Each structure stands twice: as C-alpha cells, then as structure tokens.
Amino acid sequence: MTADVMERSGFQMLPDGVALHILSSLRPRQVAACGPVCKSFAELCRAPCLWQALWERDLAPKKLLPAVRCEPTTTSRRRFRLP
C-alpha cells in the first residue's frame, strides 16, 4: 500500500463520483457543514456539479413559487399571501 492510500480511509477512499452522489442526498446546509472536515471534503463540497444537483432538487424557483399565491382583488392591484 502506498502512503497516500494508507492515509485515506472510509469515505475518502470512494471515487469522487460516488462520494458526490452520496453528498447529493444531503440537504444544502448539511453539505456546507461537511466542508470543514478535511481538505478532500472541502474540495468535494465545493464541486459545482454537486451544488447544481442541490439547486435543482431543493432550491429551484419552480419549487419555491407555490409558496406565494397571487389573488386578484376587486381593484386592479393584486394581493399576495402565503398559504
């Protein structure tokens, strides 16, 4: 075994693609909390593809828009209210 392999263990031994897939199952705050663990985690947690996946799953505007409904009133103005 090389010194590099001996220093890496568990999660760090996974290929980056597998580690990113696992991280993508977390919530954005959880991913952000993983970054300070070590240098390899910090690199993985900054990966644009990871944040793109999190954006599409949790943060995309299409998922946030139903939180606000627009109801027409008797005037020409619209009233916004939260459900």
- For the chain, the domains span 3-81
The residues of the chain scoring below 50 in pLDDT are 1, 5-6
The whole-number pLDDT of residue 83 equals 52
pLDDT value of residue 27: 92
Fold of 3-81: Monooxygenase (1.20.1280)
The whole-number pLDDT of residue 72 equals 55
The predicted pLDDT at position 38 comes to 86
Q: Is 80 helix (H, G, I), strand (E, B) or coil?
A: strand
Nearest to 37 by CA among 73, 18, 5, 12: 12
Amino acid code (one letter) for 79: R
For tokens 């999660």, the residue is: 11
Residue 48 pLDDT:
92
Rounded Cα distance between 80 and 60, Å, is 20
Q: What 8-state DSSP symbol labels residue 12? A: G
